[in-house]
Amino acid sequence: MSVSFQTIDVFTHTRFLGNPLAIIILHHSDLDSDSNRLSQSLTQQQKQLLAREFNLSETVFIHTTQGNYDDPNEPFLIDIFTTTEELPFAGHPTIGAGWFLAQQWKTRTGFTLSTKAGEILVKKLPGKRSNEDVKFVRLRVPIDFKTHPPYHSPNLSTLKSKLHQSQLEPDDYVNGVDGAEPVASIVKGMSFVLIQLQNELGLAKFQPLHAITDAQLRISDDHLGDWKGFSSLYVFVVLPQVTNSHSSIFDGFEDPATGSAASTLCGWLAVQKGIGKWRFEVIQGVEIGRESRIGVFVDVDENSVVSKIELVGGAVKVLDGRIDI
């Protein structure tokens, strides 16, 4: 058995920038009548092995049938895997899967992706010329957004200390080395510690945490409660506002481009700003040579609750082929 694949760079239109993503296309003849989900041609273990083989931050599996190609109301099921686990949602694989599918039709303006976190409507944003390929897609992120109490642990202080960040001083952190940091979840099972630095110089000096184990990065289950699961750090700087009062630029450090982390950060920042519709641009991955640009739109309702988050991004094809199973 062999399956087709494609690799793309997401949140950029320049090859070898942005965040690489592997896409594996699984074709099916029909639906599973018992569960109304698509019959699986790969086991969970096989999917995990393929994700490990590509060795990218995420690999996405897109399940296709003649039905969802012909009927715009029939969703495309997608599965998202890191090298070690399946995720309910992640931004750059979802934008990448949406961009990939958007290239398949010239006339369809949108379609739906079905993820473990919920269904996501994807809209194509056309290029300036009528014959131009789709440059961007915009999608509504499935959210169960929650802001948790600030988090502090000995592990977190150690990660911010000179032991791991030899070029940073305590004053480079907005909340200091031993201070508690904000925590927010985009959905249950995906949470981020949001570490703000004072300026871009500090962000440039922040060192990758390659030697850190997942256990050291993970927020304690007691702190997250029902939202426990995958967790990580997102380090950022707020840059001066541009163009108008509803637009800010941020620079994050966590990966070349992480839509879920950017959505979480912008949701948290929007709550700090208050009721309204807020637009953000996240610039990420600059220091590791993979500049990425992520658009995030956040609505905060009259109860100061995040009611909607949308991501905007593009991609560029890098490689395609087939892989034997």
Give the pLDDT score at 70: 87
Give the pLDDT score at 69: 85
Distance CA 295, CA 281 (A): 5
Q: What's the CA angle centered on 118, arms 144 and 296, to 5 degrees? A: 60
Residue 319 has pLDDT above 90, yes or no: yes
| Pair of tokens at residue 162 | 């000179």
Burial class (CB in 10 A: 0-12, 13-18, 19+), 51: buried
DSSP states along 97-114: HHHHHHTT-SS--EEEEE
Distance CA 80, CA 62 (A): 9
**Is residue 71 a contact partner of residue 65, using CB atoms and an 8 Å limit?**
no
Distance CA 309, CA 325 (A): 37
Give the pLDDT mean for 20-27.
96
pTM: 0.89
Report which secondary-structure segment, H or E, holds 201: helix 200-205
**Is residue 256 a contact partner of residue 19, using CB atoms and an 8 Å limit?**
yes
Burial class (CB in 10 A: 0-12, 13-18, 19+), 199: exposed
CA distances from residue 320 to 31, 76, 267, 282 in whole angstroms, order as listed: 27, 20, 35, 29
Residue type for position 36: N
Banded pLDDT at 38 (limits 50, 70, 90)? very low
Banded pLDDT at 238 (limits 50, 70, 90)? very high
Q: Where are the beta strands (DSSP E) in the chain?
A: 2-10, 19-27, 59-64, 76-81, 86-87, 110-115, 118-125, 136-140, 146-151, 181-187, 190-196, 230-238, 247-253, 276-284, 292-300, 306-313, 315-324
Q: What's the CA angle centered on 19, arms 175 and 248, to 5 degrees? A: 45
Banded pLDDT at 7 (limits 50, 70, 90)? very high
Distance CA 222, CA 173 (A): 25
The three-state secondary structure class of 196 is strand
Burial class (CB in 10 A: 0-12, 13-18, 19+), 212: middle
Return contacts of 108-114, CB within 8 angstroms, 24+ apart.
Answer: 108/72, 110/72, 111/68, 111/72, 111/75, 111/76, 112/73, 112/74, 112/75, 112/76, 113/75, 113/76, 113/77, 113/78, 113/139, 114/75, 114/76, 114/77, 114/78
Q: What is the pLDDT of residues 268-301, one digit of tens each?
A: 999 999 999 999 999 998 888 999 999 999 999 9
Q: What is the pLDDT of residues 92-113, one digit of tens each?
A: 999 999 999 999 887 888 999 9
